[in-house]
Structure 1
Amino acid sequence: MAPWKAKRLSFAGRLTLAKSVAASLPVYNMQTELLPSSVCKSIDKLSRDFIWGDDENKAKMHLVSWDVMTRPKPLGGVGIRPTRQANLALLAKNGWRLLKDKECLWTQIMRAKYGRQRQGLEVIRPSQGSSFTWASIAKTASLIKQGCAWNIKNGKRTNFWLDIWVSQVPLRDLAIDGIPMDLEGKKVAEMVRDDGTWKTELFEHLLPSEITQKILSTMVDTLSQEDDDIFWAAAADGKFSTKSAYNLLTQHSQHLSAHDEKTWKTIWRLPTPERVRSFMWLASSNKLATNVMRHFRRVADFPCCMRCPGVPETVLHILRDCPPALFFWARHVPSEMQQRFFSSNQQDWFRDNLMCSTSTTSGMEWPAFFSTASWLLWKNRTTAAFKGIGAALTTHSLEHSIIARAKLWHDSWVSPSPLQNTRSQAVERTLANIGWTPPVEGWTTLNVDGASNGNPGPAGAGGLLRDHTGRWIKGFVSNVGSASATLAELWAINHGIDLAWKEGFRTLKIESDSKMAIQLIENRHDPVHPYATILSTIRRKISNDWLVRIVHTYREGNRAADWLSKHSLVFPYGTHELVDPPVGLVSILRDDMMGTTQERRIVVPSSSSL
């Protein structure tokens, strides 16, 4: 963080160094100690001053507030983590281990010494005479409580109304009417029937409809001997991470800027050097040190452009409307883009050009060419401002410089490096004809699919059984409440397996177009996964005395199940068997029997996977 380093690095270099050094040096201490607020503020101040180039004798303009810089990149920041929040997230990791990793020696010692034989979340709380490490970890109790929830298995440990399991707060706090005394102490297991269906008559009139729908999509395994357990609800896979804990700490202060999330992501993924990306972040945030901004901050006498007397020097003026910029863009902006390019306001101008899919005549992507040109136009302006207009490049020299630099970066970016990981290269795709294929004789095919209107949102599942001739045997639709698309797919597989077993088929091929659902079933899933109960139920049913294969198919080969899953949303909650195919499905079944296919680009398997 020495001042001489700040002078010799670009803004992007200082930003990278601050994130990699200042954020990493205190990590070891922050895992076991809660740093004093003054220390956290001092570390943050050192980072801020270094990023903006301050030294002991002179402070520089801080163009962007610290609050904005500490936002994630998709929300308009640069992803710097404030020291206090990072400290709490790291401490929470050890707090979570105290709760979950009961076999570890250090957790056994700490729990025995300071836990006072308490259970659950009550373990992590301050104890009189405790060590500084325990007191520091205890400071994260509220964070851990906010991020965890009960993972429902047999439902015997979780209180339906008082515990957190289907929402971020207990259901008691969401009730729209008074809860009867005889229901207050009910466990989740007591609110379902022996077949696992919910006793909706006990709670649907007491809760908002959207909460009821979430409850209906939750499986309770009445046959399981596995008790409910706490999982980390702040992460999609149920596993604790410091990143998810940090996001939980800061989510209340994160707001989308005027630019949408996609635009910010595009800036940080530009195929250009980091200095150009950092510049585009500043420019699109309207935070460049133009004369207008310098005059506003009282460090410049006039807000006008040095080339255009009387014209305010804004970001848009420098990068588009000033004579050097106007000369360049008039010669290189595609003709179909020029009208909007030269007439749009600053916000739309950046968004349109960064999201544009056009390429230049030389094959360069327009967003990268646009960003490189904007950066060099700004550099030429700063040269004129600090060294005089005579030191800046002429319009023709500037044009040649921009084109040469853009081509150099483009060629180096698209050319594969000998050290590049082959897995990171673009996958090869080929055009293929995809359709439904009947099973071999003696087997039955179960096609299933799940649909979610909102992901998560109102969800349904559907499936059908067919023989080797393509003949419809039986089908089902199921309204599963409110769920994600993956959970809806798992419900479809679960109900389809039940239907096939009930109908007496013992050689079954299950086809699903969800790779995620298939991977969750086939791979050894963690018991803290939010879908652990339905996954273990499916695996238990598959392991019965029959032969079952689960394979992935493309949507073009799963059209019938896809139609049923969407059709299921018009049905009331529950599973409904279909003896005959619905009228709207007949034409799809006929096409499948005739071997009709549709074109689709699919990934070509690599030679190593053949």
Structure 2
Amino acid sequence: MNRDFVWAEEENKNKMHLVAWDKMTVPKKHGGVGIRPTRQANLAMLAKGGWRLIKEKETLWSQIMHAKYGRQRENLDILGNSQGSSFTWKSFSKAVDVLKQGCAWNIKNGKRTKFWLDPWVLQGSLKEVATMHIAEDVEQMTVADYVTADGTWRTDMFEALLPTEICQKILSVAVDTLSSEEDTLFWTASPDGKFSTKSAFNLITPQPQDPDEKLWRTIWRLPVPERVRVFMWQTCTGKIATNSLRFHRKVAASPCCPRCPGSPETILHTLRDCPPATFFWLRQTAGLHQQDFFTLDQGDWLSSNLLRTDTVATGMTWPAFFSTALWLIWKNRCVLCMQGSGAALTPPSLEHSILAKTKMWHNAWLAPPLLPCKGNRPADRVEKEVGWKPPTEGWIMLNTDGASNGNPGPAGAGGVLRDQMGHWVAGFVANLGTATAILSELWGISFGLDIAWKHGGRAIQIQTDSQLALQLIEARHDPIHPYATLLSAIRRKLNRDWLVRLTHTYREGNRVADWLSKHSLVYPYGMHELTSPPPGINSLIRDDMMGITSTRRVVATSSSPLPTSM
């Protein structure tokens, strides 16, 4: 049904399917049109039903299904195909492999997740990648058994049994031994841990790598009517119904051009080398571009023109003008084939028509929308002097930062406590193993709060250059969020008996913490307190004390983020 709709096929009326269905279902950025294959889309929807069955245990429908078919099983095991089960239950069971592929355990207190058997660091079990045999009694140990009372990993218990890169991933996972929250399943294919059919579909659908990804993105973002974008996609895939293609498929008597007897009607001939097209392009291409324009082969000709950045006299970008002109040249060719030469435009008339229509469409594209909508126009920016600012009198400034070389990759965090004069009070560096950039930022804030409390500060102003970290801390995150455990720990520390202000600063005002976070990778795993500045950082501290600033272009329309007091 999808195929027939795309190619306008009707009952008793066959149409030519110009592009293979497998190509049509490829995402737009990889050369297709992004139509979802029905089977995979259905499987993703079934996985959604299975996910709701597992997570929505308090709902009436879930309780009934659990009681009737669950057979006392839990979590993903509940979706086993029970004998005599309903069509709905069997349908959910078909998606169990999808759920197993995308689910993992979100560690809270670590008492529910088996360290070696359950997926929590990898999509599979750690037992599968262990370098040595794991005894049966060890297999039953939980994640909580591998951390100390303060949540520090007991590396000596597993570092000899696992590859180094796996150990590095484990070290960045937060375990809250003080929490009463149990470990819970989360969806690894979404950044927030919540299930979505889109992420499930992408998980089970191979994503091809296409060297022409930039070209395809350009085509689908052209400021032209959608029909022109589709035509350009067909052209770049080599699938418009020229006589050569129709003759190859045995639906045309001759492969020749209707205007040029003896010349095969290829895409390049029709759109560039046929006399009406040549007449038009000779008058539109500048002398410097003319030689390449008429000598390149089809693929290079299309890509070079679609990726150009210049504009024409009307202000229209060259790729948009080029695409629209090609479509109108093709439409004129179709009129010639269907209605005869008397109905087709002559070369001068065709040129006049193309110039008039491209100008009209360009003006229409620039016209304001009829209904108010949120535009995508980039915000205006102004230059601003940015640097470190000392804290308010009676307060201590804590700057923190995180760094990840690869995102995820080798990661670290760092921070510094300074008084009103900018003097060093305390600092820290932390080697986190393997982590993402945002996880590193959150660890930096968490360790910084510990250092500030230890040194007796009860009025702390925290600055970080990660707006996302502040948003995650301020938001009421879902318990299944991948960073929920660390965020809960940070919130608990913020709610101690003290005054804390969380504010955002730009990187130019956070240079000392930035240096420390990158320097942390030379230290062994764990957090290391620094009683004095390490060698190489004194010049940055001195610049901050002197009020040295750097120029940065910032958004003019937005005000600085308001501090959050806790």
Please indicate, yes or no, whether the TM-score normalized by the shorter chain is above 0.5.
Answer: yes
Are 1:537 and 2:489 matched, yes or no? yes
Equivalent in 34, 48, 69 of residue 3 of structure 2: 48
The equivalent residue for 2:28 is 73
The equivalent residue for 1:178 is 133
| Contact 2:379/2:557, CA 8 A, preserved across alignment | no
Equivalent in 175, 188, 194 of residue 220 of structure 1: 175
Supply the distance in 2 between the matched residues of 1:178 and 1:459 (Cα, whole angstroms).
30
Q: Percent of pairs identical after alignment?
A: 61
Residue 362 of structure 1: CA displacement? Answer: 2.5
| Contact 1:69/1:77, CA 8 A, preserved across alignment | yes
1:193-592 map, 5 Å: 193-251=148-206, 254-260=207-213, 262-308=214-260, 311-333=263-285, 341-422=293-374, 424-592=376-544
Q: 1:377 to 1:547 in 2, by over 3 A?
A: same
Partner-residue secondary structure (3-state), 1:584: coil
| Contact 1:196/1:221, CA 8 A, preserved across alignment | yes
Supply the distance in 2 between the matched residues of 1:70 and 1:504 (Cα, whole angstroms).
61
Q: 1:405 to 1:548 in 2, by over 3 A?
A: same
Q: Which amino acid is 1:138 matched to?
A: S
Are 1:596 and 2:551 matched, yes or no? no
Supply the distance in 2 between the matched residues of 1:339 and 1:474 (Cα, whole angstroms).
67
The equivalent residue for 2:40 is 85
CA deviation map 1:510-565 (0-9, x unaligned): 11111111100001000000111111111111111111111111222222222222
Residue 172 of structure 1: CA displacement? Answer: 1.5
CA deviation map 1:424-459 (0-9, x unaligned): 444333332222222112112212222222222222
Q: Which amino acid is 2:336 matched to?
A: A
The equivalent residue for 1:156 is 111
Supply the distance in 1 between the matched residues of 2:300 and 2:541 (Cα, whole angstroms).
48
Q: 1:343 to 1:256 in 2, by over 3 A?
A: farther
CA deviation map 1:131-171 (0-9, x unaligned): 22222222222222222111011111111111111112111
CA deviation map 1:304-356 (0-9, x unaligned): 44445555443334334444334433433456655654554443443443333
Partner-residue secondary structure (3-state), 2:427: strand
| Contact 1:71/1:80, CA 8 A, preserved across alignment | yes
| Contact 2:383/2:551, CA 8 A, preserved across alignment | yes
Q: Which amino acid is 1:545 matched to?
A: D
Q: 1:574 to 1:606 in 2, by over 3 A?
A: closer
Equivalent residue pairs, number: 561
Partner-residue secondary structure (3-state), 1:391: coil
Q: 1:569 to 1:282 in 2, by over 3 A?
A: farther
| Contact 2:9/2:15, CA 8 A, preserved across alignment | yes
Q: 1:58 to 1:447 in 2, by over 3 A?
A: same
| Contact 1:70/1:82, CA 8 A, preserved across alignment | yes
CA deviation map 1:355-391 (0-9, x unaligned): 3332223322233222212222222232333334553
CA deviation map 1:22-80 (0-9, x unaligned): xxxxxxxxxxxxxxxxxxxxxxxx22122112233342221111122122222322222
Supply the distance in 2 between the matched residues of 1:235 and 1:438 (Cα, whole angstroms).
39
**Structure with the bigger percentage of helix:** 1
Q: 1:391 to 1:496 in 2, by over 3 A?
A: same
Q: Which amino acid is 2:367 matched to?
A: S
Q: 1:386 to 1:179 in 2, by over 3 A?
A: same
Supply the distance in 1 between the matched residues of 2:306 and 2:259 (Cα, whole angstroms).
27
Q: 1:326 to 1:217 in 2, by over 3 A?
A: farther
User: How large is the Cα RMSD of the aligned pairs?
Assistant: 2.5
Supply the distance in 2 between the matched residues of 1:340 and 1:506 (Cα, whole angstroms).
70
TM-score, normalization: structure 2?
0.92
Supply the distance in 1 between the matched residues of 2:64 and 2:324 (Cα, whole angstroms).
58
Partner-residue secondary structure (3-state), 2:470: helix
CA deviation map 1:255-275 (0-9, x unaligned): 123412x33233222222111
The equivalent residue for 2:69 is 114
